[in-house]
Amino acid sequence: MTADSDEYITELQKRLEEWNMGLDELQSRVDRAEARSEAGTRPKLEKLRRQLEEVGTKVRSTPPKEGDEWKQFREGMEEARDLLDEGIEEARRALDE
């Protein structure tokens, strides 16, 4: 891998850990929440957890090293990053209501 791709993969691995901790914290809050909040938030957390697992699998696989495949991989990871960040923040807001 190139230095750029190595650095990017390392950053993705760090973000995976952060997302995982964020989802764990949210899951704990949902577990303690009233049934009203739990019913709306639990499915969202389960979906986010599945998305996180998919991203983790792709990051742990052998990502492309360069060229168009690397560009597509990186674009896909950036899209996944945005979706996970937004989903976690949305779940936090729902629990804060």
For residue 63, pLDDT over 70 is answered with: yes
In terms of pLDDT, which residue wins out, 1 or 90?
A: 90
CB atoms within 10 A of CB 43: 10
| Per-residue confidence band for 91, with pLDDT thresholds at 50, 70 and 90 | confident
Nearest CA to 84 among 3, 7, 26?
26
pTM, whole model, 2 decimals? 0.70
Instruction: Determine the Cα–Cα distance for residues 92 and 20; give it in Å rounded to an integer.
Output: 14
- Domain residues for the domain of 9 are 3-96
What total of structural domains would you count in the chain? 1
pLDDT at 34 (0 to 100): 60
**pLDDT for position 30:** 80
Residue with more model confidence, 68 or 32: 68
Residue with tokens 């639990």: 42
pLDDT at site 43? 83
pLDDT for 10-60, tens place per residue? 999 999 999 999 999 888 888 777 655 556 777 888 889 999 999 999 888
